[in-house]
Chains A and B, each alone.
Chain A
Amino acid sequence: MPEPVEHFARDPEWTWYILFYFFFAGLSGGSYFLASLLRINGNRLDEPAARLGYYVAFLALLPCPVLLTLDLGQPLRFWHMLVNTTPGHEGLAFKYWSPMSVGAWALVVFGAIATVSVIEAWLSGRRDPDRASLLRDGVPGKVWTVVGGLFGLFVASYTGVLLAVSNQPVWSDTWLLGGLFLASALSGSVALLGWLASSRRDARASAPVFVRAERFYPALEVALLVVFVVTLIPAGALGQAFGFPWILLWLVALVGLVPGLTGRFAAQPAVAGRGEVAVGSAVATVATLVVLLGVLALRAAVIFSAQ
């Protein structure tokens, strides 16, 4: 557990752009990971849901570089994250000990992987499903899927480590933010993909998988939240992290865990008439929005309470 530290650091003023970047990066990485898991361990019927995951990962990734660039003081120098322009030290800029540097590179690599994957998913969805795909089948396909899934996990989580590797109160008082952000990203991604899969005829076969995973990931997030609180106690940072008005954001984050923990899909009737289906869809839609709002609120609470 980190030793309590008295902080005199100034706020970096990371606000809305960063909040929404954390949100979309979490959904993108989480969705890519779940899609890869379906491809690696699912069966042929899971392929449409896996493709859906790659679509979501790509779409959620699109705003990420825009948000990060807009947040910079000098947006036109975004490429300085990757290239060192210091006279005499020209070359690639990479520091394995700086999560922002590692994250910038991971985002570039993951962006390429997600783009190739979404093209492959689109092409394979338009042709004979039994036709082999280099990025899906055989050893190369398995390696591609596993590597992409790992990058997805990293992009969904490194943002928490980035906050912790600072001298800011709350953020640097715990080592758990990376894990917490990852669990939250998986909770949000599984809810979103589960909702989308249940509304698409070709992906419905995978919906039960999402239902079960949707119970597990929020439970993991609750457990990590408890540990997060415990790690903040010796630092005396609980008041700052959970004081008013941030407690309201934490409450929204907790409410966002309820649909998953209570099994919102399983609560629906086994044999439903047309009207019941419509009601069930509306409930599922609202529940998904509540989950996503919770994912956003958790990140907002962490980001804003420390600054």
Chain B
Amino acid sequence: MVEITPGKAYGFFTDTSVCIGCKACEVACKAWNELPGDEPSFGDGYDNTGQLDAQNWRHVQFIDNVPDATSVAGQGKAWLMMSDVCKHCTHASCLEVCPTGAIIRTEFDSVFIQPDVCNGCRDCIAACPYGVIEMNAETKVAQKCTLCYDRLQGGLEPACAKACPTQSIQFGPVIELRERAQQRVDVLHAQGVTEARLYGADDDVYGGLNAFFLLMDEPEKYNLPSAKDAVLPSRNNAGGYLATLFTAALGVIGGLIALRRRRERPADEPVAGVEE
């Protein structure tokens, strides 16, 4: 049982190498947060929830990586399964752009959307690089994983971590989780599983993710931006305003030239619809 103390950073370490795709996390999340869920859709794979959205705050990705030659050992890569969730980024794009202050950082260092403050402008949806946030069709506000904020306040660990039967989802203080994750990677590397890697455990990705992952392939394979692509929306503020300022200066100059020429040539060219 993890002792939960306000003022400390808590999060998830999701070890995809032991995820069996049982979706207990999805069910537990829906049960605790009273999310009715979307209509299931059945395609080629085992994924019937499709994506993280307003109804799915946990989503188990099933990435079919089965090699054509069945004699090759899978090494944990034949099916890439990952229980995806809000990353509760240290430098969170959604929190950065939110104009209302509805998105806050809690006393547990998680990123939380206050449903009574959000007005549904959807700027956070355009900003989140993980496609985590969506508008709830009923409440008409943006929603995502809360890291079970209400459970943490009551000293309980998040429902998904509690339900996970393989300890693929581990909850705890972020510092401890990072140490545990590094040990796990070292073990896997020693076993010859060299493709195992951590994603978001250090500050390369958005200053560090409070919900970080052990992956068995490139981040892009799991629809996660690489460290190079993990950029904040505000990167375009300076360039955007400078380009606008430059255009505005040209706009002023153009207007002044138009006025000056008229002064130089008072008898100007005719105008459509004007009787000279």
A-side residues, CB < 8 A to B, are 2-3, 5-14, 33-34, 37-38, 41-43, 46, 71-75, 77-78, 80-81, 84-86, 89, 93, 95, 97-101, 104, 153, 157-158, 160-168, 171-172, 175-180, 182-183, 186, 198-199, 204, 207-213, 216-217, 220, 224, 264-272, 274, 277, 280-281, 283-284
A171–B224 alpha-carbon span in the complex (Å): 19
Q: Compute how far the CA of A146 lies from the CA of B140 in the bound complex, rounded to whole angstroms.
A: 40
Binding site for A on B (CB under 8 A): 53, 93, 96-102, 104, 114, 116-123, 125-135, 139-142, 220, 223-226, 228-229, 231, 233-237, 239-244, 246-248, 250-252, 254-263, 268-276
Which of B118, B240, B242 has its CB near the most chain A CB atoms (within 10 A)?
Answer: B240
> Are A216 and B233 neighbours in the complex by a CB distance under 8 Å?
no
A-B CB contact pairs (8 Å), 8 listed: A11-B126, A13-B122, A80-B118, A86-B102, A163-B126, A165-B237, A212-B261, A268-B271
User: What is the minimal beta-carbon distance from B226 to any residue of chain A, in angstroms?
Assistant: 7
How many CB-defined contacts (below 8 Å) exist between A and B? 265
Which of these, B129, B241, B274, contacts A7 with CB under 8 Å?
A: B129
- B130 contacts across to A, CB distance below 8 A: 8-9
List chain A residues, Cβ under 8 A from B259.
37-38, 41-42, 46, 209
Q: Indicate if the CB atoms of A9 and B243 lie closer than 8 Å.
A: no
Bound-complex Cα distance A81 to B119 (A):
8
B51 nearest in chain A by CB position: A10
Known: A208-B262, A265-B272. A98 touches B98 (CB 8 A): yes
Residue on B nearest A96 in the bound complex, by CB: B237
Bound CA–CA A163/B125 (angstroms): 12
B123 is contacted by which of A3, A89, A100 (Cβ under 8 Å)?
A100
A71 CA to B120 CA, complexed, in Å: 8
C-alpha gap A171/B93 in the complex (Å): 15
Most buried by B among A14, A212, A264: A212
Pairwise interchain contact B129-A74, C-beta atoms closer than 8 A: no
Chain A residues whose C-beta falls within 8 Å of the C-beta of B274 in the assembled complex: 198, 204, 207, 277
- How many Å lie between the Cα of A281 and that of B116 in the bound state? 54
Q: A6-B225, A73-B140, A178-B243 are in contact. Are A270 and B233 (CB under 8 A)?
A: no
| Contact A6–B119 (Cβ < 8 Å) | no
Residue of A42, A157, A266, A271 near B248 (CB, 8 A) is A157
Contact B225 A80 (CB under 8 A): no
Contact between chains at A268 and B244 (CB < 8 Å): no
Q: State in angstroms the CA–CA spacing of A26 and B232 once bound together.
A: 27
Contact A182 B129 (CB under 8 A): no
Given known pairs A98-B98, A212-B262, the reply for A167 and B247 (CB within 8 Å) is no
Is chain A's interface secondary structure helix, strand, loop, or mixed overall? helix
Check B241 against A9 for contact (C-beta < 8 Å): no
Among residues of A, the one whose C-beta sits closest to the C-beta of B129 is A167
The minimal Cβ–Cβ distance linking B259 to chain A, given in whole angstroms, is 5
CB of A129, distance to nearest CB on chain B (Å): 19
- Min CB gap B134→A, angstroms: 6
- Cβ B273 vs Cβ A2 within 8 A: no
In the complex the two chains form, what is the Cα distance from A14 to B224 in whole Å? Answer: 24
B272–A166 touching, CB < 8 Å: no
**Chain B, residue nearest A34 (CB):** B255
Seed contacts A2-B235, A172-B233, A269-B270; 20 additional CB < 8 Å A-B pairs: A9-B125, A10-B133, A12-B125, A37-B255, A37-B259, A77-B120, A161-B237, A163-B126, A164-B239, A167-B231, A167-B233, A168-B126, A182-B244, A198-B273, A220-B247, A266-B270, A270-B270, A271-B276, A280-B272, A281-B272
Residues of B with C-beta under 8 A to A198: 271-274
> What distance in Å separates the Cβ of A47 from its nearest Cβ neighbour in chain B?
13
> How many Å lie between the Cα of A11 and that of B73 in the bound state?
39
Min CB distance B82 to A, Å, is 14
Which residues of chain B are within 8 angstroms of A166 by Cβ–Cβ distance? 97, 123, 126-127, 233
Assembled-state Cα–Cα distance A275/B117 (Å): 61
Closest Cβ of chain A to B211, distance in Å, is: 15
Flag if B270 contacts A175 (CB, 8 Å). Answer: no
User: B101 touches which one: A13, A43, A93 (CB < 8 A)?
Assistant: A93
Query: Do A73 and B141 contact each other (CB < 8 Å), given the known contacts A8-B130, A86-B117, A157-B244?
Result: yes
Please name all residues of chain B whose beta carbon is closer than 8 Å to the beta carbon of A38 when the two chains form the complex. 259
A9 and B122 contacting across the interface, CB-CB below 8 Å: no
Contact status B273-A277, CB under 8 Å = yes
Residues of A within 8 Å of B229, CB to CB, are 5-7
The complex places the Cα of A182 from the Cα of B243 at a distance, in Å, of 10
Q: Which residue from B98, B129, B139, B256 sits with its C-beta under 8 Å from A41? A: B256
Q: Are B240 and A165 in contact (CB under 8 A)?
A: yes
Please pick, from B128, B236, B262, B272, the residue contacting A10 in the complex, using a CB distance under 8 A. Answer: B128
Q: Name the distance in Å between A199's Cβ and chain B's nearest Cβ.
A: 6
A80 contact set on B, CB distance < 8 A: 100-102, 117-119
B254–A216 contact, CB under 8 A?
yes
Least CB separation from B263: chain A residue: A43
Known contacts A34-B255, A89-B101, A272-B276: does B231 contact A5 (CB below 8 Å)? yes
Q: How far is A227 from B100 in the complex, measured between Cα atoms in Å?
A: 34
Contact of B236 among A7, A175, A179 (CB under 8 A): A175
Contacts A11-B125, A172-B233; A98 near B99 (Cβ below 8 A) = yes
